[in-house]
Amino acid sequence: MPAEKAISGAVLDWRNRTQIEAFVLVKDEELPLRRRPMPGSRVRVFSDADRDKADLIEYIEGTDYTVDYTKAAIRRTANSRIADWSLHPMYGVVHFDHTAYGDSSNRAYTVYAEYDYASEAETADSYAQQEGSQLSTLLPIVAAKLQSGEEVVYVVYGDSISTGGEASQECFAYYRRFADYMCELYPGSSIRIINKAIGGETSEGGAARVESDVLPFQPDLVSIGYGMNDQNLYEHGVGVLPEDFGYNLRHMIETIRSNGDTDIVLVTPCMPNPLWRHTSVAIDRYSDVIHQLSKQYHLTVADVQLVWKQELAAGKTPESLLLNNINHPNDYGHFIYFTAFAKMFNE
């Protein structure tokens, strides 16, 4: 399933060593780059992740932004054309209710930095060999079909993040990146994506419709991504209790397995904006449930939450990762999701 068009950063960053990284910049405050640029490499900043976009703006280093290459950090200038997030209506607001604002999105404030970074010792060939071996072990049904040239049917199941919510194009959505990645391991192979995710849904909805919305496709692969809406905090408590969340996921897993041979990947949710009023402090518990079920059923986990926390610990801000400023990843956030999938085959 080749990409419809070549887009920088759409594939593995540890292979091509090019970082496409999102930033929401505030005033002239400094933010760290996620990686250290290669000596002699320049950091170029664009208004969009898609370099082929017709109205793409390339900002000017020294005029719109500056880079401290020694510290690996970036900041906007006082007279920059890059939008200043301190002008966002929710800037500085704690425990905000997004419905009280006409537009909570960070879309107008998000820019994408592109730069090359220093390569590690491993080569692309060594990665491909390791990844191919791990794919055969972790997703044997998928690997066998890809090796034989048969089409793989991949059902994407979950909430709005799994619909591709806030990805600017399908090619940036995590599930499409993952499918393209697997096809790269087996040139000439193909994967048919059937997206049955529904925005706003909790695991209760997923459990209720799994038989009708997944089984008829006889999938070779299903990724299940719930937890974000389940953990939402309301006056009565969380949307779905962790123990009920586990029951719902268990029902999905057993229903899919009862239908025949299918590889299943469980997906932990990313971290919502901690300043959002509906963010609970319990999201780790939902991730724990997912890991417990993965051990019980011997399933693979794409641990997005772990990778997301590593991004935050490295200095990425929630605003730079969440396009709706609440719980939907931007194009770089979807790349983080994809990275969690790819890491399954590099550990």
**How far is residue 179's CA from residue 192's CA, in Å, rounded to a whole number?**
9
1 within a domain of the structure (yes/no):
no
Last residue of a domain, one of 77, 97, 116: 116
Which of residues 81, 96, 116 is at a domain's end?
A: 116
| Its pTM surpasses 0.75 | yes
Average pLDDT over residues 306-333: 98
Distance in Å from the first CA to the final CA of the chain: 25
Same domain, yes or no, for 148 and 225? yes
How many domains is the chain built from? 2
Q: Per-residue pLDDT tens for 82-136?
A: 999 999 999 999 999 999 988 889 999 999 999 999 765 444 444 455 666 789 8
Domain that holds residue 101: 13-116
Q: Is residue 168 part of a domain?
A: yes
Domain boundary among the residues 116, 135, 158 is at 116
Q: Do 27 and 52 sit in the same domain of this protein?
A: yes
243 and 331 assigned to the same domain: yes
Residue 226's CB is within 10 A of a number of other CB atoms, namely 31
pLDDT at 120: 55
Average pLDDT (133-140) is 90
Q: Are residues 199 and 108 located together in one domain of the fold? A: no
- Give the distance between the most distant pair of CA atoms in the chain: 61
> How far apart (Å, rounded) are the C-alpha atoms in residues 84 and 109?
7
150, 84 Cβ separation under 8 angstroms: no
- Tell me the range of 1-5, 49-53, 158-162 where mean pLDDT is highest: 158-162
In a domain, 4, yes or no: no
| Distance (Å, whole) CA 293 – CA 289 | 6
Statement to judge: residues 232 and 336 lie in one domain: yes
Q: What is the mean pLDDT of residues 278-304?
A: 97
Residues 231 and 296 in one domain: yes
Nearest to 17 by CA among 1, 49, 39: 39
* Residue 101 sits in the same domain as residue 146: no
Nearest Cα to Cα of residue 273 among 139, 95, 86: 95
Q: Is residue 299 part of a domain?
A: yes
DSSP letters for 135-176? HHHHSHHHHHHHHHTPPEEEEEEESTTTTTTT-SSGGGSHHH
Q: Residue 66: what pLDDT?
A: 98
* Contact present, 210 and 258 (Cβ < 8 Å): no
| Residue appearing with tokens 């370099």 | 51
Whole-number Å distance between alpha carbons of 154 and 142: 9
pLDDT bucket at 15, cuts 50 / 70 / 90: low
